Amino acid sequence: MERLSKKPIIEVRHLNKSFGDNHVLKDFSMSVYPGENLVILGKSGSGKSVLIKCIINLIQADEGEIVVLGSPIQGLEQDELDDLRAKVGFLFQSNALYDSMTVRENLEFPLRIHWTKEERALGAEAAVKEALEDVGLLHTIDRMPQELSGGMKKRVALARSLILKPKVILYDEPTTGLDPITSREISQLMVRVQKKYNATAVIISHDLNCIEITSDRVIMLIDGTCYADDTFEALSKSTDHRIKEFFT
Ligand SMILES: Nc1ncnc2c1ncn2[C@@H]1O[C@H](COP(=O)(O)OP(=O)(O)OP(=O)(O)O)[C@@H](O)[C@H]1O
Ligand SMILES: [Mg+2]
């Protein structure tokens, strides 16, 4: 297969993570290849958010190795980790927009961390507008988050995770709480922006519509390990009862 000849963008090897006696991730391994959209599917509480947070070291793994864009993240100094995070967009399960800031200010926020004052003076306005245009929400630039619908907030959060033109985008439940039509729109938008930025994406979801639209490959996280790894189509036809229950 083509992907096997490419070097992974993300490698997770023998990851273990417990909270007290709750052993969430058990010797979990996976590779994510350049340009693919990989979906992680698993029940509520199975450890999907913990996994994605370990990938950018928001949660520290107990054991195992995580390499992102060639850097072993557990060994990085804070400034190296900050540099790496600039290349990895993260869409949180809750949108995590700042309620007291306008849409524009929300989008400028990552620039304040990762760009110099001069870079911002020259490019912030154009970068904010381009990211908002990507998600079809340029007209909301001066609105407050509470004036937006749930789907619009998701799109603004997506624009904010795109503003630094990340090489990798991590999505935690991008369509949760949305109606099926908006969910489809967001999923199609994810595919479009991924193509435009030539990014690699890891998407956590149990929305079958979203998975069908976005995924090149699906990993099933069951009992803390990678239980299955295949295309959506192949998994949806599986006769394994633990896989089947996700598709009925
Ligand atoms: N900071 C934490 N401290 C203690 N336990 C935690 C912490 N974060 C997650 N857990 C536990 O780890 C397990 C996995 O949680 P996680 O949030 O990864 O689930 P999930 O698969 O993302 O579920 P959902 O689909 O509901 O979002 C749960 O049992 C949760 O209680
Ligand atoms: Mg979660």
Measured N-to-C along each axis, helices 103-114 and 150-162 cross at an angle, to the nearest 10 degrees, of 20
Q: What is the pLDDT of residue 193?
A: 85
Beta bridge partners of 13: 65
Buried b (16+ CB within 10 A) or exposed e, 186-200: bbebbeebbeebebb
Phi-psi sector, 27: left (phi>0), alpha (psi -120 to 50), beta: left
Residue 95: how many CB atoms within 10 A of its CB?
20
Pocket probe for ligand 1: among 48, 92, 227, the residue whose CB has the most ligand atoms within 8 Å is 48
Joined together, the tokens standing for residue 210 give 């979203």
Q: What is the pLDDT of residue 6?
A: 79
Let me know: does 155 contact 187? Beta carbons within 8 Å.
no
Distance 49 CA to ligand 2 centre (A): 4
Q: What is the pLDDT of residue 127?
A: 95
Backbone φ and ψ for 37, nearest 5 degrees, come out as: -110, 105
**Rounded distance between C-alpha atoms, residue 39 and residue 48, angstroms:** 10
Position 124 scores a pLDDT of 95
45 CA from centroid of ligand 2 (Å): 7
Cα 247 to ligand 2 centroid, rounded to whole Å: 19
Distances (CA, A) of 132 to 55, 96, 122, 136: 27, 17, 18, 6
Q: Is the pLDDT of residue 91 over 80?
A: yes
Q: Which residue has the higher pLDDT, 39 or 178?
A: 39
Q: What is the mean pLDDT of the chain?
A: 92
Q: Three-state DSSP class for 169?
A: strand
Least reliable range by pLDDT among 43-52, 56-65, 77-86: 77-86
- Contact between 55 and 68 under an 8 Å Cβ cutoff? The reply is yes
Q: Which residues are CB-contacts of 223 (< 8 A; sequence separation ≥ 6)? A: 26
- pLDDT on residue 2: 54
Residue nearest to atom 7 of ligand 1 (CA): 19
Residue whose tokens read 């990895």 = 88
Quickly count helices (H) and strands (E) in the chain: 9, 10
Alpha-carbon span 16 to 65, nearest angstrom: 9
Torsion-angle region of 223 (φ positive above 0: left; ψ -120 to 50: alpha; else: beta): left
Q: Compute CA distances 18 → 47, 96, 140, 204, 220, whole Å.
A: 10, 25, 42, 20, 19
Question: Probe ligand 1: pick from 46, 54, 93, max atoms within 8 Å of CB?
Answer: 46
162: nearest Cα among 82, 115, 107: 107
CA of 58 to the centre of ligand 2 (A): 14
Quickly state the pLDDT bin for 220 (edges 50, 70, 90): very high
